[in-house]
A and B are shown apart, each in its own frame.
Chain A
Amino acid sequence: MSLVNISVGPQHPALKEPINFTFTLDGENIVSADARIGYAHRGIEKGMERGNYVQGMFLTERICGICSHAHSMAYVLGVEKLMQLEVPKRAQYIRALLGELERLHSHLLWIGVAAHEVGFDTIFMYSWKDREVVMDLLEELSGNRVNYAVNIFGGVKRDYTKEQLDNVRAKVLSLKSRMKYYIDMATHEPSFIARFRDVGMLSHNKAIELGAVGPTARGSGVPVDHRVTDTFLIYDELKVNMIVEEGCDAMARYDVHARELLEAVKIIEQILDQIPEGPISVKYPRKVGPGESITRYEAPRGEDVHYLMADGSDKPFRYKVRAPTLANIPAVLEMFKNSHMADIPVIIASIDPCISCTDRAVLLADVYTGKPAMSWKELVAYSNRYYAENHGIKG
C-alpha cells in the first residue's frame, strides 16, 4: 500500500491549540510524523528587550496562561541571581505555595483534557469542577485567576493572614478524596485503561536521548524533577517525593500526573506548616548586571529554562526561553511511530502540550517548499549586519 500524508492542524477538532502535524500513514498505521510550530509565536524574547526589567515580569507571565507563575518565577530568579538579592524566607514560601497551587490546577486541567480525548467527558467535567476550587484559592490569594503577578524582585507583593492560609489548607485537603478517586478510576475503569495502556510508547532510553522533560520523562522512568534534583526556592527544606513510573506509555503519564496531585497537596501542607513570619520583600536595584544567568524551574509540564544576558542597563540585553513542551516535541514525534491513527489525540494530549509556551523560535524556511529561506552563511551575515547597524557592534 502506498504511503499517504495527512496534515492535522492548526485548527483541528483533535487539537486544542494551534500546531500542525504532518503524518505519513501506511493504512491506519503511522510511519512517521513531523511537527510545525509557530502559530502562537508572539516575539516575546524580542519584546523583552524593549521594556525594562519590571515590564519584563509581566511579559514573561504571559508566555503561558496555564503555568504563568512558573515562567515569571524563572525570570525573577534569574534576575535576582544577577542582582545578588537575599530574598526573605516568607516570600520564598509564598512563591512556592503559589507554584504548587498552580501545579494542582494544571494537573487537574490535564486529567480533564486527557479524559476528554478518550471520550470520557464525565471525568473532564469532574476534574474541571474540582479545579475551580483551586482557581478560587488562586484568585483569593493573588486577585486574578490566571496571571497572578505576585512576584517582584526581592520578594512578593502580597502577604497573607493566618485565616487565608488556613482556608488554603482546608480547601486543598477537601480535594484529596477526589484525587484518590482519579487514581482509583485509572486503575479500575476498563474503558479508560484500554485507551491509555500501551499507547504512545516512549522507551526509557529514547526519553533520555530525545531530552524529554517533566511528567513525560518521569512516565518513562527517567528520574528528573528539579524540585528534587536541582532544588530552587525552599524546596531543599521540604520533603518532595519524585513520582516516577516505569510504564513508558500514556497510562504511566496519567499516573504520574494523578499521583503528583497528591504529592502537591503534601507539599502545600508542609509549606503551610513551615512558613515563617517576617518581611516579604527587600529593595531591589533598578539596573542589572552586567552578567548572564540561566535558571531552571520545574513547571507543571517540566523543566523551564530561562537565559538572561544583562549589560548593566535597566533593560535585558538578550532573553531566551525554553519551555517544557518544546523539549517534549521530539519525544511526541517518536511516540507517533508505529501507532494507530486513532490514537493521535491521546498521544498529543499525553505530553500535556502547551503550544503557547512552545512557540519561541522563528522558522526561517519557505512555507511551501520547506527549503531554508536563508542559508547559514546568509543568516550569519544578516545578524552581523543587524548588530553593526543597530547596536554598533562590529562582527
Chain B
Amino acid sequence: MTVKTGFLSRLTKWARLHSPWVLHFNTGACNGCDIEILDALTPRYDIERFGIKLKATPRHADILLCSGPVNNQSAKRLRRIYEQMPSPKFVLAIGTCACSGGVFRGCYNIHAGVDTEIPVDAYIAGCPVKPEAIIDAVAKLIAKLEAA
C-alpha cells in the first residue's frame, strides 16, 4: 500500500485508530477462546471503551479475530471471509490452536494454524487466551498502525 498524506487519508487513519471494528470467526475452536473474546466485550473488560466494536459482517470489519485451528471445512470459508473484508485488513490469531494447531496439531483435518491460509498480523498464545491478552494484542496492533 502506498502511503498517502492527504486530508482524507489522515482522516481515515484517525478513524481507524480510534474505532477499529472487529469480526470474530470460529475456525474450528473449542469455544473457549470464542467465549473469552465475547468476555472482553462485557462489563469487566469492556473493550468498547477503546472504540472496538464486534461487527457481524466481514464487510464492516477492520480486524479479523480467528480462534481455533483451521480445519478442512472452515479453510475455504476463512479465505472467503478474508477476501470480503475491505483493505487494509488485519488478522489476529487468538489462542494456541490458531497460532500453531495446538493440541489438535496432527489431527487428520487440521491445517495447523490460521497462517496456513491467510496472513496473520499478531499471534496471541494461551489456552484459552485471557481477555486481558486480547486487549493487549489489539492495543499493540493499534500502536503498529499508528507507526505505519
Q: What residues of chain A have their CB less than 8 Å away from a CB belonging to chain B?
A: 10-13, 16-18, 38-44, 46-47, 50, 58-59, 62-66, 68, 109, 112, 124-125, 128-129, 132, 135, 144-147, 354-357
Contacts and interface: CB of A to CB of B under 8 A. Distances in A.
A145 B104 contact: no
16 contacts: A13-B56, A16-B34, A18-B25, A18-B74, A39-B74, A42-B69, A43-B108, A63-B30, A65-B34, A109-B35, A125-B42, A132-B42, A146-B32, A146-B35, A146-B36, A147-B32
Interface in B100-121: 102-104, 106-110
Contacts, number: 123
Interface residues of B, number: 38
B70 to A, nearest CB: 10
Contact of B44 (A10, A17, A132): A132
B19 interface: no
Contact of A43 (B26, B81, B109): B109
Contact of A47 (B43, B71, B104): B104
Contacts of A355: 26, 31
A44 B68 CA distance: 14
B110 A42 contact: yes
Most buried by B among A18, A112, A357: A18
Contacts of B44: 128-129, 132
Interface of A is mostly: loop
Report the 7 A-B pairs with minimum CB-CB distance, sorted nearest first. A65-B32, A13-B56, A65-B31, A128-B42, A43-B107, A65-B30, A356-B31
Most buried by A among B71, B81, B110: B71
Interface string B64-105: 000011010110010001000000000000000000001110
Contacts of A17: 26, 31, 34
A135 B45 CA distance: 13
B63 to A, nearest CB: 15
B127 A147 contact: yes
B101 to A, nearest CB: 10
Given A39-B74, A132-B44, A11 B31 contact: no
A41 B31 contact: no
A357 B107 CA distance: 16
A66 B127 CA distance: 12
B30 A41 contact: no
Nearest to B107: A43
